[in-house]
Amino acid sequence: MTSNMTTHHDVLRFKTSGSWLELARIAVDLVTDAEQHAGVAMHPRLGGGTRLMLALDHRISDDIDLFIRDPQWIGYLSPRLNDRFESVVTGYEESASALKLRCPAGEIDFIVSMSLLGLPDEFAAEVSFALEPIEEVLAKKLFYRGWALTPRDLFDWRAVTRHSPTGPMGKRMAGLLSGDRLAAIREALLAMKTSNAAAVAWEAIRAPDKPALGESIDWALTETESYARAASA
User: Could you tell me the CA-to-CA distances from 52 to 79, 94, 168 in Å, in that order?
Assistant: 28, 25, 19
Q: With 50 as the cut, is the pLDDT of residue 1 above it?
A: no
Q: What is the pTM of this model?
A: 0.94
Q: With 60 as the cut, is the pLDDT of residue 124 above it?
A: yes
Q: DSSP secondary structure string, 121-152?
A: PEEETTEEEEE--HHHHHHHHHHHHGGG--HH
> Cα–Cα distance between 154 and 146 in angstroms, integer?
10
Instruction: Give me the pLDDT at residue 4, please.
Output: 60
Domain with CATH 3.30.460 in the chain: 1-132
| 125-162 tens-digit pLDDT | 889 999 999 999 999 999 999 999 999 999 999 999 99
Sign, CA torsion 81/140/69/128: negative
What dotted CATH number matches 1-132? Answer: 3.30.460
Exposed/middle/buried for 88, CB within 10 Å: 0-12, 13-18, 19+?
A: middle
Residue 148: other Cβ atoms inside 10 A: 11
Q: With 80 as the cut, is the pLDDT of residue 219 above it?
A: yes
The answer to whether 107 and 144 are in contact (CB under 8 A) is: no
Sign, CA torsion 145/133/110/8: negative
CA 187 from chain center: how many Å?
21
Q: With 90 as the cut, is the pLDDT of residue 171 above it?
A: no
Backbone angles phi, psi at 69, to 5 degrees: -100, -25
> Cα–Cα distance between 132 and 92 in angstroms, integer?
24
Instruction: Give me the pLDDT at residue 166, please.
Output: 64
Sign, CA torsion 118/129/34/22: negative
pLDDT band of 221, cuts 50, 70, 90: very high
Beta strands 45-47; 127-131: pairing state? parallel
